[in-house]
Amino acid sequence: MPTGIHIRDARQQLFVAAQRVLLRDGPEALTSRAVTAEAGVAKGVLHRHFPDFDAFLAELVRDRVARVEDQAALLRASAGIGSVAGNVANALTELFDPLVVAIVSLVIFRDELRARLRETGPAQGIPVLVEASAMLAAYLTGERELGRIAADADTASLALSLTGAGHLLFAAGDRLDSAQPEDVGKVVTAVLADVLQRRLR
């Protein structure tokens, strides 16, 4: 087997194993030993591909950030289509899957991981949540330009409120996916009520 393919397979195997441990046992259980044991590989395999464990975890988080950025492009393209509240509710539901909620917990739990991520990402905020807020702000700005929300809407503040509320909804309770569509819809409608109503005046 060519070396390049072997390396990619090993990295992916480790990422999948880390995700399983994180979802099943939480951030405090996510160690290099736990990941290699879950992946069924020797302990040295992880360190052959990454300088240290936090470098490995940083790549895991960056992969999820890239997915949020892909989702952002699709959401921005939906401006002017469907309902504003419906589009935002759908975006939050898609965004906050159990893995994203667990990754946010991991970033909060590990100081060194946050430091690594800030070397190449935003200097403030929690990675994934920062990108989620930027995604929603860009979408709402597009809707503001189309006249579907109030012309003076503070899209950055609205996006922060929606991101925080969405994270709380999906992280609440014993199950990470505990939020129901109607719960998400109610919160989104409440946050956007003013800018949607004033558009009609």
Q: What is the CATH classification number for the domain harbouring 9? A: 1.10.10.60
pLDDT of amino acid 71? 96
Residue 55: inside a domain: no
Q: Are residues 152 and 72 in the same domain?
A: yes
Do the domain assignments include residue 56?
no
Domain count, the chain: 2
Residues 175 and 98 in one domain: yes
> Model pTM?
0.87
Domain match, 117 and 195 both: yes
Pair (158, 91) in one structural domain: yes
Name the DSSP class of 43. Answer: T
Domain match, 83 and 130 both: yes
Q: What is the domain range of residue 148?
A: 61-199
Same structural domain, 82 and 160:
yes
Please check whether residues 16 and 44 belong to one and the same domain: yes
Residues 140 and 73 in one domain: yes
CB 14 within 8 A of CB 47: no
Asked if residue 122 belongs to a domain, the reply is yes
Residue 129 lies in a domain: yes
Which residues of the chain carry a pLDDT beneath 70? 1-8, 173-178, 200-201
**Residue 26 domain-assigned?**
yes
Query: Among 49, 71, 86, where does a domain finish?
Result: 49
* Strand (E) or helix (H) holding 79: none
pLDDT at 39: 94
Residue 180 lies in a domain: yes
| Co-location of 79 and 104 in the same domain | yes
| Residue 7 confidence (pLDDT) | 44
H helix or E strand, kind and range, residue 60: helix 53-77
User: Where does the chain have alpha helices with state H?
Assistant: 3-25, 32-39, 44-49, 53-77, 84-95, 98-109, 111-120, 129-145, 155-171, 181-199
82 shares its domain with 42: no
**What distances in angstroms separate CA 53 from CA 30, 45, 136, one per listed residue?**
10, 11, 32
Residue whose entry in the numeric block shows the structure tokens 């289509």? 81
Please choose, from the candidates 70, 177, 35, 54, the residue with its C-alpha nearest in 3D space to the C-alpha of residue 117: 54
Please report the pLDDT score of residue 124 as a whole number. 80
Same domain, 38 and 87: no
Q: Which two tokens stand for residue 94?
A: 């898609």
CB atoms within 10 A of CB 108: 13
In a domain, 103, yes or no: yes
Is 79 in the same domain as 169? yes
Distance CA 42, CA 90 (A): 41
Query: Which tokens sit at 119?
Result: 């070397």
Q: Is residue 107 part of a domain?
A: yes
